[in-house]
Amino acid sequence: MPRIAGGKILAICQSGGDFVTSSDGSMCYNGGEAHAIDIDRDMLLKDLKSEIASMFHCRADTFSLKYFLPNNKKTLITVSSDKDLQRMVDFHGDSLTTDLFVIKNTKKVENRKTKSVVADSDTPTRTTIVANNNGSCNTSDTAKRRRVLDEWENLITGIGQVFDDIKSLRDALHKYAIANTFDYRFVKNESLRLTAECTTEGCPWRIHASRAAGTQEFVIKKWNETHTCGRRAGTERNKLANQRWVASVIKDKLKDSPNYSPKDIANDLQREYGVNLNYTQAWRGKYFAKQELHNSHEEACSQLPWLCGRILETNPGSVATLETSEDSKFSLFIAFHASLSGFEHGCRPLLFLDGISLKASKQWKILAANAVDGENSVFPVAFSIVDTETPENWHWFLTQLKSALSTSRTITFISNRKNGLEEEVTQVFEGSYHGYCIRQLEEDFKEKLEEEEEEKTPEAKDKIISELKKCVYACKVDEFNECIEHIKAESKELAEWVSAAKPELWSNALFKGLRYDSYSSDASVTFNSWIKSRYEPSVVQIVDMIRCKMMEMIYTRRESSNSWREILTPSMNQKVQDDIAKARNFEVICSTGSVFEVHDDPVCVVNIETWECTCRKWQVTGMPCVHALAVLVRTDGCIYEFCSKYFTTECYRLVYSLSIIPIPDVGRSRCVVPMNVDLVGEETMTTSASPLPCRSRPIIIYLIFFWLLFVSLFSSSGDLSLFPYG
């Protein structure tokens, strides 16, 4: 059996003191205050920093964490990732206590003209852009405002830095350029990669980032941070401060102070950010901020309740729940009756939980529960639209999901087990199984592989990754251990990492739940292919795009399955035929009426009465393994009677037997807008151009009118000499 690492340490968190170095080079920490905290090996770094920030009344992004290795007081080790935190717990597993030092971040002062290019970093550092009005360690309100630009100057830190998504990277880059007073242009600005360069001719400053495989995260791959253009006294800061940026900065204050005037906006931005705006620029920024606030408030006050009501009216048996708060935040949960019925009657008791960042919308996230049909295609069961993916939102979503499901089956969940999912699934669905997404496991392993074995050839790395996959699909413990030994032969550190990565959550040999040979979900790709919009869509539009695509998907798959003539679905039928060809080569010896010995390497024992084989593949996948097929072929048994019903054509048709009914008047709802909220017309909300002042519109209309009159007069007289191309 593999070694499963675990344990907990007691950390003494110290802050506010100073390090004193003795003659032998060892260091001790004097002064400050200290707090004790339990740190579990599974604890996330962001959760630890959040708890420490609460202890010392500071912000989580204003400090770093460092510690000493046992018996080494000369070198401080930095905790910059979840893996670093796990290592710290492992290193101090036998210690009574561990000293953890909270070090306040200091601004780096460097010459932008002469700094050299940074080499590739092995360990990525994660960046989160924190709202400017949050608290910070030991500073007055005035100092907080003055420090904003100092923080922005260091939002881009180096190669290997990780951002949650492309929007976070763009925001950080924009603020970084404002703080460092230079302008940039995009060379590439795509969904998979971003490249930007300084606009000054000949300046070598350039940055390139790309999306990490299987996630929405963006990683900086190349960065030449050398500037030869010099600072430009704030002129570039003004150029980058467009109305969208102004709106993002003032939106929170405008929510609390609706009468926030353009003059006050301009004064505040000049004082706090060093940005000089004229009245028109400040007015446009306020206009866009009010528009964004209005759109969110309008939906929360009227459109979303209306939408929930219409879903329940047109699709009886569906669940549509809206929860709002006083600050206009809301959570929306939707499960159509057709989806709930399809999951109950035709799908395996298996749900993939996904937090999905949308390419078309930077404001909302989708929390989704997706099943798979008999062809292993994604089948959405329920989804929720929230502002952020948090443990609280996941708990709310899972609670709504449990209420919506009528099944008595024990459900197996698969997720990345992040953002609180590990705890929330167990809490809401007691007695269920919760496995780890294999795609996420592979990404984590590849990252560790690059870190530990950077010098290995691509072929050698592929071989090690192949052994990890064998660990996943191994159905017996001895097979799993054999794969671990193969990895250990290549790298002891990687073998230890695999053993410590909780294989009981992902290996067939150890996982207790039933996954039926499904290990990961493509829900993110599916939803993003469904939700496409040139402009930022509203929540109502997002829901309706999902509804339309699900309606089309159900109809298309139902019609397609009507032509199937086999008992099993096409892909499963093909798999059985391929395995039968292999099974014919095995010798079968009968022991009893239901127990058989099949001569393979090694010899396997098949019990067709209990649907079991000693290779365990039949039990794990729900489909007869090659040994069971060898027995059934030998005894002229009906193969299809020994396949899980979830892979039959009949069950597939049950998944798609009900339709989602159209909502004909969606999008035409109206709401009563509070008196202090300006109503913005639909046409204005979808345009990307700046709004024209009302007094300019009559002038343009008159000019167009006289131009048309002028052309018509000359056309009627036949004199078109003034028009050389007439």
Give pLDDT tens digits for 351-401: 999 988 877 766 788 999 999 999 999 999 999 998 888 899 999 999 999
**CA–CA gap between residue 436 and residue 420 (Å, rounded):** 13
User: Phi and psi at residue 211, in whole multiples of 5°?
Assistant: -80, 135
**Rounded (10°) angle between helices 539-561 and 523-530:** 110
DSSP, collapsed to helix, strand or coil, labels residue 385 as strand
pLDDT at 107: 42
| H or E element in which residue 368 lies | strand 365-372
Locate tokens 């996941």: which residue? 394
Asked whether the whole model's pTM tops 0.75, one would answer: no
SS (H, E, C) 175-222: HHHHHCCCCEEEEEECCCEEEEEECCCCCCCEEEEEECCCCCCEEEEE
CA distance 189 to 197: 12
CA angle 622, 572, 589 (to 5 degrees): 60
Amino acid at 693: P
Locate tokens 């905790």: which residue? Answer: 79
Closest CA to 136 of 36, 253, 56, 30: 56
pLDDT along the chain (726 residues), means of 10: 55 85 77 84 87 83 86 83 85 83 63 33 37 38 54 84 86 83 86 88 90 84 85 52 74 74 83 76 81 61 83 95 80 96 95 85 84 94 90 94 90 88 91 92 89 84 93 95 94 92 94 91 82 71 90 95 95 95 91 90 93 95 96 92 96 96 68 32 30 46 58 49 39
